[in-house]
Amino acid sequence: MKFFADTAEIAEIRDLAATGLLDGVTTNPSLVHKSGRNFLEVVREIADLVEGPVSAEVVAIDYDEMMREADVLRAIGDNITIKVPLTPDGLKACKALTEGGTMVNVTLCFSAAQALLAAKAGATFISPFVGRHDDVGFDGMALIADIRLIYDNYDFATQILVASVRHPMHVVEAAKIGADVMTAPPKIIHQLFKHPLTDAGIASFLKDWEATGQKI
């Protein structure tokens, strides 16, 4: 499974990139707003820092304006992935961009039927929002399983990018189902390191080592 960081904070991205765990980055208008910085500047910095795909979202809702914004964004770098909404105009843009050699991330997916449409439109990535799905009483992981089954049935190349990840078990369950990618806030990725027995083991080893009086 590929790990993408869902953030617009450059320091967090740089820190994760240093671990070798980071395969890409996803951003959206809300994350950039939270950073308080210029959108294009942030995307450019991220694209320079990360070798893998960097999803940058259009804010237009009509096809022509989506394509105009996509031209601005993809000029930033070859690793820019254009993120479009799962709407008729969004899928029309997805088809045109894909045919032009641009990676496309179709976002705000909440059903297997929507995911099927995105795959037929040639999406590079489909982003089902598991956390938001759970919030309204549905099973986000069941959605991932349904999409995996449908994509495997027809050998679609579209990668399942699990989004709206709320906790480490979302990551583990998605990996068990066979999702291709997950994107999560850096704090969630760091939580994957945590286990009380690991912490206890380190503390025990350090105590015993200190008792030897030795140095390396």
Q: Is 83 exposed, middle or buried (0-12, 13-18, 19+ CB in 10 A)?
A: buried
Closest CA to 144 of 114, 179, 113: 179
2 is catalytic: no
Residue 198's CB: how many other CB atoms inside 10 A? 10
Torsion sign (Cα): 41, 43, 44, 48: positive
**Catalytic residue (choose from 83, 92, 95, 187):** 83
| Cβ-Cβ contacts under 8 Å for 204 (sequence gap 6 or more) | none
Rounded distance, CA 173 to CA 88, Å?
31
Task: Give 81-102 as a DSSP string.
Answer: EEEEESSHHHHHHHHHHHHTT-
Task: List the catalytic residues.
Answer: 83
